[in-house]
Amino acid sequence: VETIREPAELRLILDRVRATGIVGFVPTMGALHAGHETLCRKSVAENDVSAASIFVNPLQFGLGEDYQRYPRDLAADQRLLQESGVDFLFAPDAAAVYPPGFQTRVIVGELSRPLEGAARPGHFEGVATIVLKLFEMVGPCRAYFGEKDFQQLQVIRRMVLDLNVPVEVRGVPTVREADGLAMSSRNRYLTTEERTAAPAIYQALLAARSLAERGVLDPDALLQEAHRRLEASPLIKPEYVALVDPDTLRPVVQPGRSAIMAIAARVGAARLIDNIMIRPPDSRPSAD
Ligand code: PAF
């Protein structure tokens, strides 16, 4: 994998590729894990040339969040990208991304407000701004995002549609540890004890889904079930448990609609998020 620091150099190389082929792009903040590897391998399989970016974006971290201590390990990340078959790593310096006097922001309206937007004011403004900037630097491409950050995926899809950005956004299912914990760079903050407790978040989502599959469709009952499961784990401090419409992210109040159940919880020094699609029994894909 060839590492490029300058946006203009990246654009030049990828413009040459685009004369005959399609560029795949995986934006990341580094501290890569098997979830990122899946995004990279998909990009490599589906495109002629693939680029990944690593940039820990200060604009999407709030005051008191983990910007300073966010894990950074460029050498390990380069090895993972190399093994995944990615051609280019774009790792710009902060000065190349945010020039002196920078003052422009991208705001995606309603989709940015609930859930993570409410818990982390300004977060999606930071995400949308950096992702649009990265798309400008990379140029037309297919871009890959994990479904663990479901709201982020929807915000980016909306931005691309609203601003005529020539990028095809592809969502990729969440990759999990053997015990169900969603892969996340922030899992590195967990102590051994916390790591053992953390899969309860996914267990809570599964419990709610299994209740729905057995015909219990009242949103309050599903939310209560998830809360009950989380409360059994004293190391897990839920921030929110929500059942929302997958397209609008508004709360689902009517029983029997397909919905995303999303959870954010503190586990020690880590703030973890996860989600699952919950479908009423008659709308599930059939086995054959
Ligand atoms: O999901 C992430 O890693 C980041 O939010 C992203 C999309 C790379 C923007 O900084």
Q: pLDDT by residue (tens digit) across 74-93? A: 999 999 999 999 999 999 99
SS3 of 24, please? strand
CA of 205 to the centre of ligand 1 (A): 24
| Residue 255 pLDDT | 79
Q: Determine contact, residues 16/44, Cβ cutoff 8 Å.
A: no
Residues 107-130, buried b or exposed e (16+ Cβ, 10 A)? ebeebbebbbbeebebbbbbbbbb
| Residue 254 pLDDT | 86
Is pTM beyond 0.95? Reply is yes
| Residue 281 pLDDT | 85
Ligand 1 mutation pick, 53, 55, 67, 130, max ligand atoms within 8 A of CB? 130
How far from 189 is each of 9, 193, 272, CA to CA, in Å? 35, 11, 10
Q: Which residue has its alpha carbon closest to ligand 1 atom 1?
A: 28
In angstroms, rounded to a whole number, what is the distance separating the alpha carbons of residues 91 and 30?
Answer: 9
CA of 127 to the centre of ligand 1 (A): 6
- Could you identify the atom of ligand 1 that is nearest to the CA of residue 55? 10
Mean pLDDT of all residues in 244-253: 96
Residue 248, pLDDT > 60, answer: yes
In angstroms, rounded to a whole number, what is the distance separating the alpha carbons of residues 35 and 149?
Answer: 12
Q: pLDDT by residue (tens digit) across 120-178? A: 999 999 999 999 999 999 999 999 999 999 999 999 999 999 999 999 999 999 999 99
In angstroms, rounded to a whole number, what is the distance separating the alpha carbons of residues 271 and 288?
Answer: 39
- Residue written as tokens 């190349």? 96
Q: Which residue has its alpha carbon closest to ligand 1 atom 2?
A: 28
Q: For ligand 1, which residues put their CB under 6 angstroms from it?
A: 27-29, 57, 60, 127, 130-131, 149, 152
CA of 53 to the centre of ligand 1 (A): 9
Q: Choose, from 33, 36, 123, 227, the residue flagged as catalytic.
A: 36
36 counts as catalytic = yes
Token code pair at residue 140: 């037309």
Q: Determine contact, residues 254/271, Cβ cutoff 8 Å.
A: no
Confidence of residue 280 (pLDDT cuts 50, 70, 90): confident
CA of 39 to the centre of ligand 1 (A): 13
Q: Which amino acid is at 2?
A: E
Mean pLDDT of all residues in 44-68: 98
